[in-house]
Structure 1
Amino acid sequence: MKRYALSIIFLIFLLFALPVAIISCSKESLPEKRISDSKLYLNVYDYRKEKLITMDLEEYIAGVVAAEMPATFHIEALKAQALAARTYTLLRMKYFGGKGCSQHPEADICTDPSHCQAFVDPNTLGKNQKKIYEAVNSTKGEVIVYEDKLIDAVFHSTSGGITENSEDVWVNKVPYLRSVLSQYEDHSPKLISRKEISIDDFVSGMLSLDNTITLDKKNLESQIQIIERSSGGRVMKIKIGDKYFSGRDIREQFGLNSTNFSIDIGKNRITFEVIGYGHGIGMSQYGADGMANHGATYQEIIKHYYTGVEIVPLESLQ
């Protein structure tokens, strides 16, 4: 009888103790702390190595700056890039309430430049390492905010003389992503580009976009009409044959550098004349370098390309 009573007591203990033990184990299995030894860590998915890496934030930013902007650029432009990259990253970090990388749910961000930000191992920078780290360290802990909130500090290579309003490219109107002049981009190798394709390849490309389109190869000139351009000059709507497409559709289908294009139709070939490189929203990297070479500081560059923003220490947001 005594043994039976002890068994009942033991069972009651298990009923109450096991849930506590399970909850305790669940807490222990949560992701490791993101702040250690005054450093902030994030989870980065390396898409080339196909693995998740935990990295110190500033080390990661150094790798982004090295990958996203030529080290030959002016140090103030590199600082602006570091600040934009850090803000872009922090906005996505789960630790700060971000949604992380949509393609890799376990990560805060990935190294695929077509999805997040480009990245190279900072240890492979060679002679450029010192300059890159100078840019990152001199802006350490600084972020860009609009009305006390981190901004989505998007950037691109070359705007072509004027950046875009966000809603003209990505639908949503964002108050700090306004169209501004970007006048110092003449040294960009992608300022103006041309792409020629055969009439047959053009028609095939359009059919792959919409296989119901009707096109007459012998009379293409009368079948292509740019309907609407943005304030920055990018094609928003274009009619080809009996169908309507966005400039982005055409850019992606034919591998153009931007949606700011015109079309010249020859006897056997079509030539796209393209201005700029990238989506055109936010900071122009070549424009930033041009501003720096004309005496602008990184703070002035940031406040030019992101309307109405402030640069503050990260601690002020915590």
Structure 2
Amino acid sequence: MRLRPEPGGELLVLPVDGDPRAKGLWLLKPRSAAAHYDEATGWQPHRSHAEERAATRPTAPAQAAALLDRTVEPVDGLLYQGPDGGLRPVVVFRSPVPPHAWTALRVAEHATGPRLRRKARGLAAEELVVPAAAARLLEQDLAEPPGPAAPALVQGLPAALRIAVPPVTTVLLAAVMTWLTEDGGVSDLLHRLFFGLPILLGTVSAFGWQLAVDRDGVTVVRALTRTRLPWSRVTAAAVHGGRFTVQGTDGAQHGFVALPSRLLGRGPALQRAARIVTAAAARPERRPAEALPPGTVGATLLLNRLCVAGYLLWILAADLLSRT
């Protein structure tokens, strides 16, 4: 049979002579830890997820692009029925990820389509997408003659917008939640908390982001947090899937929603920033020579946190008043 590994760790069974990217016939979901075959020692237990990701994590954008292509390539596999019939079938296949070891695991057959998950059992697909997208930027940069180091960079939406959005959104959201959930009770509390709070955080993050690139590394400011990554921990950056993302060497991703910024005309600037970060991560001579003063970015973090805290206090106060 033909199998295609899915991001969630499942195996999608494909037609033998069909399109390798077809929807598939049915799904095989793992029901046990996998075992890998080694010529010297035979079948060995599967490494932990953390060890597997560390062993296969790409070290360069070009390597990530090639690895991403291989992870979606179909592979040949065999499905064995156990001694108790079809209750415990075992599938054996050769992994598409280097070192392409034979892999065996107990599975369960399902007719439903694959459920996409953010993290895979092996290397998460999202850990490959950003450096793979950045590989094109790096290829363009390497094709050009060596140029001067990039200047220190600070990007973000206008300060007036970053200051105005959090309190205005908080007040409007509280008013809308009051109008929609005026009956009180536990259901209204849950609506205000689990529906209203994500809207507030998403809006503040989309309009309150900042990005700083200097001699020492990259700083990403989101709704409530500021993350500082030295160059030794930066792999690449890319605008992908509506987000600007900086990926660390450990696979962690730090970014923000880029769609509002692109609608406001900041799309080309974000693409240039992604190219600068990717080139500087791969080529130390392209890194800025100057360091930005402390506190250059993140001045509105306190305001953002106060607005979120105020919204949570309003939820609590509204719930207490509805019970009196």
Q: TM-score when scaled to structure 2?
A: 0.22
Q: Which protein has the bigger strand share?
A: 2
